[in-house]
Structure formats: C-alpha cells, structure tokens
A and B are shown apart, each in its own frame.
Chain A
Amino acid sequence: MKKQLSIFLLLTAASIFAVHAQAQVIVIANPSVKATEISKNDLRDVFTGNATSLPDGSRVVPILLKTGTAHEEFLQAYIGKNDSAYRAGWRSLVFSGQASMPKSLDGDAAVVEFVAHNASAIGYIGKASPHEGVKILTVK
C-alpha cells in the first residue's frame, strides 16, 4: 500500500511538472502564418524536419533557441528528446542532404525579432517574454 501511494504521488508530481513545463513555453509565428493553433504532432514534425508546412498548406520555417530554460522545456514538452539527441536528429537530415539546419538564435528577444520580420517563421519563447509583432499559436 505504501509502495502504491509512493508511485501515485510520483506520477502526480510528474504530471504536474509536465503541465508546468508546457505552461512555461509559448509557440509564436509570423502573422503571415494562417493557422491560429497547431497540434502537438504537427509541431513536432515541423521542429524535427519531418514537415515544412502545416495541414492547411501554409509553409513554416522553424527557428530554434540555442540554449536556455525555454529551449529545454520546449524539447521536453513537445519533442520528447534532450538537446544532444535533438540536434543529432537534425544532423542526420543535414548530412544526408534532406534538410538545412534551422537557425538557432541567442535568446527570446532575438527569436521574436526574427519571427516578426520573416514570413513563415515559427519559434518558441518563454511565456513571460515580450512578443510584440508575432502571433501566438495554441498547441492542441
């Protein structure tokens, strides 16, 4: 019984942490992107190089953060890989000639600036960061 209670508490804590992680990152896009929401699967396909457009046909270009809490939380919540595994996946595509490496920028402000001024750009930032000039995509 004690063991079951421990497992229950552990799972509860894990799920709270997962919700917490998702809540700390927002997905942003250039206003030219038609969609207002994106599924978790489509988001993962775009950010792992498996898709270059959304189901409505609009082309999107992923923009990454180089490092930081928002980057780690994004990978954990939506990609399911750590940074080294994630970048290894992109290297596979680059060295096999199937994709170009996405831009990696230094911080939230740089991502917002780039996404705001480049059609089709889609990125992610910390929830608390200013994000003028971009639209927020709701992740379903």
Chain B
Amino acid sequence: MNRLFVGALALAILRGGTSINAQSLDDLNIQIHGYATQGFLYSTQNNFFTTNSSNGSPAWTEAVVNLTSQPDPKLRVGVQARYFMLGNYGNAITLDWAMADYKFKEKFGVRFGKVKSPTGLWNELQDIDPSYIWSLLPQGVYPIGSRNSLLSHYGGVAYGTYNLGQSLGKLDLRAFGGERVLGTNDGFLLPQKEAGMILPNGMNGVTFGGSLRWRTPLDGLMLGASDNSQLAMVNPVMFTIPAGPIAGTYTGTQRLSPFNVLYYFGKYEKDKVMVAGEYSRLPIHLLLTYPLPVGLVPIKNDQHTWYGMASYKVTGKLTVGVYDTQLVTHSAPLGPARYSKDWVISGRYDFSQFIYAKAEQHFMDGTAADYDADMNPDGIKPTSKLTILKIGVSF
C-alpha cells in the first residue's frame, strides 16, 4: 500500500517535472527550506527516555530539509526528510511527508501520498521545533518516541474552510484516511522489545478520522475537536523465554484491537499572548496470541491526558511560557506508574529570524510516561527534574 502511494506521488512529481522544459524554475516556484536543532538534557533521579540525561547528554539532534514545487497555482508537490537522534533512539533518516496537494477552491482541497495526520492541536506541527516555544510538547499527547508514526500516514487528507459569516467565524474541516505504520523501532514498541517481544514488521493498519476547528468570532480564539479511528493491527510477534521449563522462542500474533483517540482542544492567540489547552483519551487493548504453553496474553491500557499552556512575548525576541500536563492510566494500579505529571517553565530567544535558543525546566512526578526501563536499571524513581537547552537554525 505504501508503495502504491509513493508510486502515485512519483507520478505526480514526474508530471510536474515534465513541464520544466516549458516553464522556468522560477515559474515552478521551487523552494528549499530546512532547520536543524541540537539539544542538551540534564535530569535528576531518572534518565529521560533513551538518553543518559542524568549525566548530562547532548544526544538530541534533528535536521530537516524540504523541497516543494508549485508548478500550477492549485498544485503543490513536495517532500521532507528528517534526521532524528534522541539517545539510543532514531539515528536514522526518515521521510516526514511526501505529497501532492491540489486545492480546487477554498472549500475543498486534497493532498495525498505520505501526509501529516490532522489530529489534535499540535500533531501536524509537533516536529517543527522552530514554530513554537517549547522544547518538549506534553508527552502524554505527543510522545516524542512515537512521533514519526503518529505524525503522518500513507493515504490522503481532504480539507476545506467554510466562512460562516462575520458573526459566526470560520470552520476548518479535514477528513483523512489511509494506513498507519509503526516502524520496528517506534517508541510505543520499545517496552515490548526490551521485554523480548520482537515485531519483525512493526505494526500497521487502516486509520481514518476527521478534525474540526472553529475560528470563532472572538478574534484569536479557536476551538476544535478531532477523532482518529484505528482499525485492528494484526502483526507477527516473536517472544523468547531464555530459561525455565518453557524456555524457547515462540512465534505468534499480536492483535491491537480497533480504537478511537479523541481530542478536544482550544487556543487563544492575540498580540503577545497565547493560551491553549487539550484533552485526549487513548484506550488500547492488545492481545498477544502464542502457541501453548504461553497462550493468550491480554494487555489493556486506557490513558487520559490533559494540559494547559500559556506563553507571553516579553520582547520581539524573548518569549516565556509555562504548561502543566497530567496523564493518568486508568487501567494501571494505584501508585506512580499510574500517572505522569509535569510542570514546565520555558523560554525562547530569537537571535535573528534564522537562529534561536530555548531553555526549559520540567518538574516531573509519576512514571507512566517519559522513561525507558533499560536506561534506568536501578528502577524508575517517582519524581525527577529535567533541564533542556536547545539551539536551532532554520532557513
């Protein structure tokens, strides 16, 4: 299925390419943009995600380059590649998106290929570090370890904006569908991998959903909701028991039951102030099916996450912000593993329109998110502080 979409995209790009002889490069409006960031992490108590942050770690590097062309006023084609490394995770170049976009009119346009999934308030922007003040978005909703999988899907998006009149504002509607692919190294699969369960093909399945954003008559206020339905993901899984009476390697099937992720969000942005909030719920039922004597292994997870955030532009170059986020895993037993709370203070300084620096302090409580068991062999402590420094360039 992925090949089908990439093939279709290649055709679209070739179609654009055939007109190069007839049009100048300027007419094609070819643009190249990019950005790169380098982060430094220092934490107390626990190592954050797959880094050695308790010793101070510079192992957070990202570099992005994108190429777009607009051979026709209604048609855009483009591709964006990314190098991402966070501790032991990533260290590879991946395709963010590669798509063709045809906008028939304001009320209707389509894009297809590998496209960003329009879910939640920040999903389409969560990887675009230059576009916001935060170094890390609330991890309960936008986990950095699963960013590549959740960010985009193979398929399409239909979009349109509807003017409701001066007294009612505007509605931005989007519908999407296609295939969601979680690579073998996705952060969601990391705990399973570390427990000896290997998914040789990762996970994949049909996904679809929609998003509604109401730009209200109150200048700067947007309210929205989105829903992402994921059909069952059924993939082969291997499990090794190293010792004991049932030692051996077992091959079975992992079935992730269909689920919906709901998001409700709002944002107010005017002049120097930005205030935003979001709530989402992620219910997951996994069923691992192995030959006997292992048999069926059901795993249930039901995460509820919310956050509230605010930022203020102190000067043209300096922005400060704060957010509070809480994740509660309703299916987990009482204790720190049931929740993750994070108070965050952040600042950003733009040296120019091309270079910026960020500083961020996290006060984390609970262990339901953000940590990797293998990186914390002495056990994960219930509280931790994380300091992030980051510098970025964009063009």
Cβ-based interface call for B161 (8 A): yes
Inter-chain CA distance A91–B354, complex, in Å, is 11
Cβ-based interface call for A100 (8 A): yes
Digitize A98-134: 1 where CB-to-B-CB distance is under 8 Å, 0 elsewhere. 1111000000000000000000100000000000000
A59-B131 contact in complex given A94-B68, A97-B80, C-beta closer than 8 Å: no
Cβ-based interface call for B317 (8 A): yes
Inter-chain CA distance A68–B73, complex, in Å, is 29
Inter-chain CA distance A59–B279, complex, in Å, is 37
| Contact between A84 and B350, CB atoms less than 8 A apart | yes
Cβ-based interface call for B147 (8 A): no
State the interface size on chain A (CB cutoff 8 A).
Answer: 28
Inter-chain CA distance A137–B227, complex, in Å, is 41
| Contact between B105 and A55, CB atoms less than 8 A apart | no
Q: Which of A38-59 contact B (CB under 8 A)?
A: 50-53, 55, 57, 59
User: What number of A-B contacts does a CB cutoff of 8 Å give?
Assistant: 77
Cβ-based interface call for A138 (8 A): no
Cβ-based interface call for A92 (8 A): yes
State the interface size on chain B (CB cutoff 8 A).
Answer: 38
| Contact between B106 and A51, CB atoms less than 8 A apart | yes
| Contact between A96 and B116, CB atoms less than 8 A apart | yes
Q: Which of A45-77 contact B (CB under 8 A)?
A: 50-53, 55, 57, 59, 61
| Contact between A53 and B105, CB atoms less than 8 A apart | yes
| Contact between A96 and B125, CB atoms less than 8 A apart | yes
Residues of A within 8 A of B (CB): 50-53, 55, 57, 59, 61, 80-85, 87-89, 91-92, 94-101, 120
Nearest 6 pairs between A and B by C-beta?
Answer: A92-B131, A95-B128, A96-B124, A84-B350, A82-B316, A97-B97
